[in-house]
Amino acid sequence: MKVSSKGEYALRALLLLGNHPGKVLGIQEISDKTMVSVHYLEQLLLQLKKLGYVTSKRGAKGGYMLHKGPEGINIGEVIRDLEGPLSPMGCASITQYEPCPMEAGCQLKPLWSLVRDTIAFVLERTTLEDLLQNRINKLEGEDFVVIKRPS
Amino acid sequence: MKVSSKGEYALRALLLLGNHPGKVLGIQEISDKTMVSVHYLEQLLLQLKKLGYVTSKRGAKGGYMLHKGPEGINIGEVIRDLEGPLSPMGCASITQYEPCPMEAGCQLKPLWSLVRDTIAFVLERTTLEDLLQNRINKLEGEDFVVIKRPS
DNA sequence: TAAATTCCTATTAAATTGATAGGATTACTT
DNA sequence: AAGTAATCCTATCAATTTAATAGGAATTTA
């Protein structure tokens, strides 16, 4: 159930950019502060650019900045874009469903679907702005939060 | 955020055994009904045996059966035993915490912790018996629930 | 024009997963 | 007691994914 370092690194970079709104940050600086190698960051940022999350400025004094506002960057989407479906199994994926020969009468699929839904619930309701503002534990106060399952 | 086929296959085998309580099932039969190769199943069942989930009977008419009752087999534990921590990142794992150089002031860790908690909430409260009885959607009506992080 | 920096493609290394092979051991059956 | 069927066990291999590396082309600033 891991998120790969690819996703982690990309989010670190997005967070850093979000923490310096309006500023163009060079890869070297991003590398220093995220502890990710310059070359690997290059690849990630290129991908994030193609996906529309960041823009770049080439040449001397060039670098990267966020393309959308942090409240418009959805963490679930970012992870999906970089790592594929949030679902633990293809058979339970909404965005990239994959059929399975055992699916009829499968006693596991309901569980995978539930896991998918809970993961998606958390990640799709979190934006970069939430992370920047440390707004993750907004569930504090209540022991349990009841969530309506999308029907 | 994937569960590997290793975990899926092992759970298929456990479900099959649970569906035939008291019966000794040979690997060939398990292979037919789970669509997993005999040799790969062998490895998985061996591991499940060492972990205490199944017992085996050797020789002719040999095979496997559950060691514990289905209500004593916790799905979260099974997945952890086979695939490692449920947490999406080592820094948020309870059972196998791994420190991270960026951890101080990390704006991601709260999210990973929340994801870990929700996944663990679902999987640790599910037993093999729940799967056998199709009791996964027992939260139906209230739909489902995400737990707040234990403080 | 020179220096700095992104852009882009290709390659390599490492880790994990899934599958395969083959023989040793055990137990049932006749 | 012998033969056969099955688990047991270790070792290896293939495929995939992930992470890291390399090197040069293109662009912008100064």
Q: List, for residues B56-78, the tens digit of each pLDDT value.
A: 999 999 999 999 999 999 999 99
Q: How confident is the model over A58-83, as a mean pLDDT?
A: 95
Domain locations in chain A? Answer: 5-66, 85-139
Query: Does strand C come within 7 Å of the CB of B60?
Result: yes
pLDDT tens readout for residues B3-21:
999 999 999 999 999 999 9
Does the beta-carbon distance from B119 to A121 stay under 8 Å? no
Residue in B75, B69, B65, B115 with CA at minimum distance from that of residue B91: B115
Instruction: Please state, as a whole number, how many other Cβ atoms lie within 10 Å of the Cβ of residue A136.
Output: 21
Distance CA B15, CA A106 (A): 10
Give the model's pLDDT for residue A55: 96
pLDDT grade for B145, boundaries at 50, 70 and 90: low
Residue B46 to residue B52: CA distance in whole angstroms: 10
Q: Which residues in chain A have Cβ-Cβ distances shorter than 8 Å to B84? A: 2
What mean pLDDT is predicted for residues B87-115? 92
Burial (CB count within 10 angstroms: exposed 0-12, middle 13-18, buried 19+), residue B13: buried
Instruction: Write down the pLDDT at residue A136.
Output: 84
Supply the pLDDT for residue A69.
Answer: 96
What residue is closest to C26 (Cα–C1')?
B59
Give the residue with greater pLDDT, B118 vs A89.
A89
- Could you tell me if B126 and A45 are in contact, meaning their C-beta atoms sit under 8 angstroms apart? no
Q: List protein-proximal bases of chain C (any atom < 7 A from a CB).
A: 2-10, 16-22, 25-29
Is the Cβ pair A140, B118 closer than 8 Å?
no
* CB within 8 Å of chain A, chain B residues 81-100: 83-89
Residue A142 has pLDDT above 60, yes or no: no
Nucleic strand C under 7 Å from the C-beta of B83: yes
Evaluate whether B71 touches B56 at the Cβ level (below 8 Å): no
Mean pLDDT of B81-86: 93
CB pairs under 8 A between A and B: 136
Residue A57 contacts strand C, CB under 7 A: yes
**Strand D contact with A59 (CB < 7 A):** yes
**For the domain with range B5-66, which CATH number is right: 2.40.340.10, 2.40.50.140, 1.10.10.10, 1.10.3720.10?**
1.10.10.10
Tell me the per-residue pLDDT of B33-48, one tens digit each, with 9 for 90 and over.
Answer: 999 999 999 999 999 9
Paired with A82 in beta bridges are: none
Which helix (H) or strand (E) segment is B43 a member of? Answer: helix B38-50
Q: Of B108, B102, B32, B20, nearest to B64 (Cα)? A: B20
